[in-house]
Amino acid sequence: MKIVIAGGGRIGRVLAARLVADRHAVTVIDSSREVCERVFDDVGAVTVCGDGTDARILERAGMRTAEVAAGLLPRDADNLAFATLTRSLSSARVMVRMLDDSYADAYRLAGVREIIPEADVVVAKMATAIEFPQVLSSMPLGLGDALLFEAVISPRSAAANLTVRAARELPGLPADCLFVGLVDREGHVELPTGLSVLRSGHVAIVIARRPHVAAVLACLATPVEGRAPDAALAATLRQLDFFAPLSDEELAEILRGIELMHVEAEQSIYARGASSDALYIVLTGEVELVDDGGRVHARGGPGGLFGETALMTGGTRATSARAASRCELVVVGREDFAHVAMANPAVALEMTRQLGRRLAETMQPPAKKQRTGLFGRRRNA
């Protein structure tokens, strides 16, 4: 798309950079040669040095063939002149930043249909940030009675690690809120379905009516007292040989960063070849590891540990993991695990030895009474 921007100030530069990154053909007009050189060097957009209210400059910028024209000049009178001239030269969509509301009717008379009132946008964002500090960013919708916003899912919140479908059954979550996106720690966006998991530490993008935002945040971003039974989890982890080298303090540090994840029967936990960002412990239910041919390679129930091999070696997942029944899992992330376990050389060495022993054991049939395997339970004599 060919886009002409009048005004290379801060907002103009940021907009041009975004559009260039999205592979649009962008031309920026500014009266300052220094600004034009900075936009050209830093952003990579074509620049025309001159007055954005001069028809000859607009011609040089290629306005006759432009598809979109954006007025970001520092005065409404200049943006109005830019819009009027653009309408006389081109059939491009015209949008302007409005600093003074008194120009609204003049812009409409000039045929501008896309008017962005700067003060309204700033005030709405600041008011939301003041009222809801858990909100990362927001955008008012319609007349401002609904809000599109982002919030980090707290590890101890009521919705953490539930599927979207299960979260909708929470008594405090408003029925008319809508999950429109989930953003992982690497910035990848998932368009959620009912089976998508609200993983703790990830960001939820939600639409809700403004009076209901507090209730949504209470489910997503507010810790629930007693959400994670640390004493019971500590006892479970102590039964696993993989965590045996950890001291009580190191185990407590791991527990502070864990996530609880609920998975429906037949739901995928991770796919073969996926990057390894966590290891998993089964609290309830049963999990299957499946090879390329769809054969069940291993199966584990409560107390089972899986996913640690790829986590420690840095490789990709060798098998797929899926829930054989409805499960509750403990998720230990790479960063939390590395911060505690790998920071202590003695612990790291012992875990490496155990990992090597476990890898060797998976290459041969287990002894009749031996319970150590892919799911890492303590051996019983």
What burial letters (b/e) apply to 246-261, b meaning 16+ CB within 10 Å? beeebbebbbebbbbb
Sequence-ordered strand ranges (E) for the chain? 2-6, 25-30, 46-49, 68-71, 93-98, 114-117, 135-141, 146-152, 178-183, 189-190, 203-209, 259-263, 268-270, 278-284, 287-290, 296-300, 305-306, 320-323, 327-333
Superfamily of 132-220 according to CATH: Regulator of K+ conductance, C-terminal domain (3.30.70.1450)
Could you read off the pLDDT tens digit of each residue along the chain, which spans 381 residues? 999 999 999 999 999 999 999 999 999 999 999 999 999 999 999 999 999 999 999 999 999 999 999 999 999 999 999 999 999 999 999 999 999 989 999 999 999 989 988 877 777 778 778 888 888 888 888 767 889 999 988 877 888 878 898 888 898 899 889 999 999 877 888 999 988 888 877 899 999 998 999 999 999 887 665 444 456 667 777 777 667 777 777 777 777 777 778 888 889 998 888 888 788 888 888 999 998 888 888 888 887 888 877 777 777 888 899 999 988 888 887 777 776 666 666 666 766 676 666 556 555 554 444 444 444 444 343
| 2-117 classified as CATH 3.30.70.990 | no
Alpha-carbon radius of gyration of the chain: 28
The residue extents of the domains of the chain are 2-117, 132-220, 230-362
Dist. CA 312–CA 302, nearest whole Å: 22
**CATH of segment(s) 230-362:** 2.60.120.10
